[in-house]
Chains A and B, each alone.
Chain A
């Protein structure tokens, strides 16, 4: 069974600092990995999708890397802003037709 873990569970950073969020998964046989943002009581907004053959994806201030063999992905958010405060979820699509989610990294960016 695929298990996804996200560390740290919560973090606070001052505005302007770079954020580094970690995701690990137990089974490296994945199709892809997707990072989502979730605001309190809201839905999931897709941020980045990395296919299993890719090493990284970038969108604006966001960069996600994937090391499939070691079962890890990292989401970097450059020059954090208060609007980046949210929970960030990592999800892997693996052997069957479903996503396995981590519990999330809860981020607070302090102005």
Chain B
């Protein structure tokens, strides 16, 4: 079965630093997402991306965050000036050609901000 690939699996950074989380979605998918899960809490939506632009973002996704699809295969989440509360597991997901299709999630990047 096709997979969504995320790198790195773990990232440790100092507060105030910038991090870039990387994802390779499934190749023929058109919809891309970032979600995060703070330890012990629900998985929560950050942003969706379609046709090379953000289609929706949550209240969490403020100016500190940005997404990019730089080369047609990678999908990145950049977090500028990280804060302690950004520590979480970040999941990338991709969906097919329609909103009603199944979402496939990557194995996540565990981000720890010290």
Instruction: Give the complex CA separation of A36 and B93 in angstroms.
Output: 13
Name the B residues within 8 Å of A99 (CB-CB): 35, 43, 45, 103
Name the A residues within 8 Å of B42 (CB-CB): 4, 101-103
Asked if A44 contacts B102 (CB within 8 A), the reply is: no
Tell which of A32, A91, A101, A102 touches B100, judged by Cβ atoms closer than 8 Å.
Answer: A32
Asked if B103 contacts A34 (CB within 8 A), the reply is: yes
- Chain B interface residue number, banded: 20 to 34
Instruction: Give the complex CA separation of A96 and B93 in angstroms.
Output: 16
Instruction: Give the complex CA separation of A98 and B36 in angstroms.
Output: 13
B44 interface hit (Cβ, 8 Å): yes
- Chain A interface residue number, banded: 20 to 34
Asked if A46 contacts B41 (CB within 8 A), the reply is: no
Asked if B108 contacts A98 (CB within 8 A), the reply is: no
B65 interface hit (Cβ, 8 Å): no
Asked, given contacts A49-B102, A96-B56, A97-B55, whether A43 binds B45 with beta carbons under 8 Å apart, the answer is: no
Q: Most chain-A CB neighbours within 10 Å: which of B6, B91, B103, B108?
A: B103
Question: Closest Cβ of chain A: how far from B10's Cβ, in Å?
Answer: 10
Asked if B56 contacts A31 (CB within 8 A), the reply is: no
Asked if B48 contacts A97 (CB within 8 A), the reply is: yes
Name the B residues within 8 Å of A51 (CB-CB): 100
Q: Which of A43-82 contact B (CB under 8 A)?
A: 43-46, 49, 51
Name the B residues within 8 Å of A96 (CB-CB): 56
Instruction: Give the complex CA separation of A67 and B45 in angstroms.
Output: 24
The closest CB in chain A to the CB of B10 belongs to A41
Q: Footprint of B on A, CB under 8 Å? A: 4, 31-32, 34, 36, 41-46, 49, 51, 89, 91, 93, 96-103
Q: Footprint of A on B, CB under 8 Å? A: 6, 31, 33, 35, 41-45, 48, 50, 55-56, 58, 89, 91, 93, 99-108, 110
